[in-house]
A and B are shown apart, each in its own frame.
Chain A
Amino acid sequence: RKEVEQDPGPFNVPEGATVAFNCTYSNSASQSFFWYRQDCRKEPKLLMSVYSSGNEDGRFTAQLNRASQYISLLIRDSKLSDSATYLCVVNDGDYKLSFGAGTTVTVRA
């Protein structure tokens, strides 16, 4: 079983729509959680950290459910520039991060 699992998508949504997707993790002792955004053939860039039950940053909302061991990311009022792959990242402690394979989102005009 993979440590971090994501629906690869793609999620194809029109501009202005809301899109949400989940990530599940296997280690119940995981310490902290992150969403990174990765554009095609580029490096991952930190989108947001999720340390407690959730976090909101503008149009982006992340929620953490420790009981069910999943993290979700919701994007409201999607923009064309939101098209990217979103990586779910889990910190198991001691500098070790586990990465999901990513969820691809495509926003169309």
Chain B
Amino acid sequence: DGGITQSPKYLFRKEGQNVTLSCEQNLNHDAMYWYRQDPGQGLRLIYYSQIVNDFQKGDIAEGYSVSREKKESFPLTVTSAQKNPTAFYLCASSGGTSGSTDTQYFGPGTRLTVL
């Protein structure tokens, strides 16, 4: 089954801790993205990567970091510098053989709560 997986589904973090959210895709997509969704707001772009070993900041990158060492994987670290990290985090991918280059497909998301 081709798709995008994210883990964990739910994550609880204490203030001051760094946490890493996993995102894996087997769609052979070149581009991958991280968004956060807050109630009543549209998705906001955190980071994106168009190719392995390269990534760019999105609109709200402060307090987050990413890596893209493999085409299939794009983990997101939420650092203690992120002031309001409680949100629904969505990973997406686009490009490759599964569709047009600008159609993005989403993973099931990780719901992060800071205690």
Residues on A lying within 8 angstroms of B by beta carbon are 2, 4, 8, 31-32, 34, 41-46, 49, 87, 91, 95-102
Contacts and interface: CB of A to CB of B under 8 A. Distances in A.
Contacts of A49: 100, 103
Given A99-B43, A100-B42, A101-B41, A43 B104 contact: no
Given A8-B40, A46-B103, A100-B42, A95 B94 contact: yes
A50 B48 CA distance: 23
Contact of B43 (A32, A44, A45, A46): A44
Nearest to B42: A99
Contacts, number: 47
Contacts of B102: 31-32, 91, 95, 97
> Chain B contact residues (Cβ within 8 angstroms of A): what range?
20 to 34
B108 interface: yes
Nearest to B35: A99
Nearest to A8: B40
A11 to B, nearest CB: 16
B108 to A, nearest CB: 5
Given A43-B106, A49-B100, A91-B102, 6 more contacts: A8-B40, A46-B105, A98-B42, A99-B43, A101-B42, A102-B42
